[in-house]
Chain A
Amino acid sequence: MNEFVFLWRRPQRPPKTPQQMQETMEKYLAWFKDMEARGHLAQFGQPLEPKTGRVVKDKGGNFSDGPYAETKDIVMGYSLIAAKDFDEAVALTKGHPIFDEGGVIEIRPILKL
Chain B
Amino acid sequence: MKPDDTLFRREAARLLATLTRAFGVENLALAEDVVQETLAKAFEAWSYNGVPPHYSALLARAAKNRALDIFRRERTARKFAPDVRRLIESEWTLRPALDAMFLPDALKDDELRMMFTCCHPRLGEDVQVALVLHLLCALGVDEIASAFLVSPAAMEKRLSRGKKLLADSGHLFELTAADFLPRLSAVHRALYLLFSEGYHGASALAVVREDLCWDAMRLVRLLVDHAPAATPATYALAALMWLLAARLPARIDDAGNLKDLFEQDRSLWDEELLAEGTRLLEQSASGEVLTEYHVEAGIAGMHATAGNAHETRWGDIVELYDVLMRIRPSPVVALNRCMAIAQHQGPAKGLEAVRGIEGASRLAAYPFYPAVLGELELRRGRTEAARGHFEEARRLARNDGERRFLDHRIEGCARKALS
List A residues at the B interface (Cβ < 8 Å).
14-22, 24-26, 28-29, 32, 44-47, 50, 76-77, 79
Contact = CB atoms under 8 A, between A and B. Distances in A.
Interface string B1-33: 000011111011000000000000000000000
Contact of B43 (A15, A45, A46): A15
A50 B37 CA distance: 12
Contacts of B39: 14, 18, 21
A29 B50 contact: yes
9 contacts: A14-B40, A14-B43, A17-B140, A18-B11, A18-B138, A21-B8, A29-B47, A32-B48, A46-B48
Contacts of A22: 5-9, 43
Nearest to A21: B43
A68 to B, nearest CB: 14
A7 B138 CA distance: 32
Contacts of B138: 17-19
Contact of B46 (A19, A25, A76): A25
B83 interface: no
Contacts of A77: 44, 48
Nearest to B42: A21
Contact of B45 (A16, A29, A47): A47
Nearest to A50: B44
Nearest to A19: B9
Interface string B93-130: 00000000000000000000000000000000000000
Contact of A16 (B5, B44, B51, B140): B140
Interface string B50-80: 1100000000000000000000000000000
A28 B9 contact: no
A24 B11 CA distance: 16
A73 to B, nearest CB: 15
Contacts of B11: 18
B300 interface: no
A14 B140 contact: no
Nearest to B211: A19
Nearest to B35: A18
Contacts of A20: 140
B140 A28 contact: no
B372 interface: no
Contacts of B12: 18
B139 interface: yes
A17 B48 contact: no
B206 to A, nearest CB: 16
Contacts of A47: 44-45, 47-48
A41 B138 CA distance: 34
Contacts of B42: 21
Contacts of B5: 22, 26
Interface string B127-171: 000000000001110110000000000000000000000000000
A79 B49 CA distance: 11
Nearest to B44: A47
Contact of A79 (B44, B46, B48, B50): B48
Contacts of A16: 140
The 9 closest A-B pairs by CB, nearest first: A17-B140, A14-B40, A18-B8, A28-B47, A22-B8, A18-B12, A21-B43, A47-B44, A18-B9
B48 A19 contact: no
Q: Which of B5, B43, B138 has the most CB of A within 10 A?
A: B43
Contact of A24 (B6, B47, B50): B47
Contacts of A29: 46-47, 49-50
Contact of B143 (A17, A46, A79): A17
B48 A45 contact: yes
A17 B48 CA distance: 19
A29 B45 CA distance: 11
A24 B46 CA distance: 11
B103 to A, nearest CB: 22
A14 B43 CA distance: 8
A16 B47 CA distance: 16
A19 B43 contact: no
Contacts of A45: 48
B138 to A, nearest CB: 5
B69 to A, nearest CB: 14
A44 B8 contact: no
A77 to B, nearest CB: 7
Contacts of B142: 17
A98 to B, nearest CB: 10
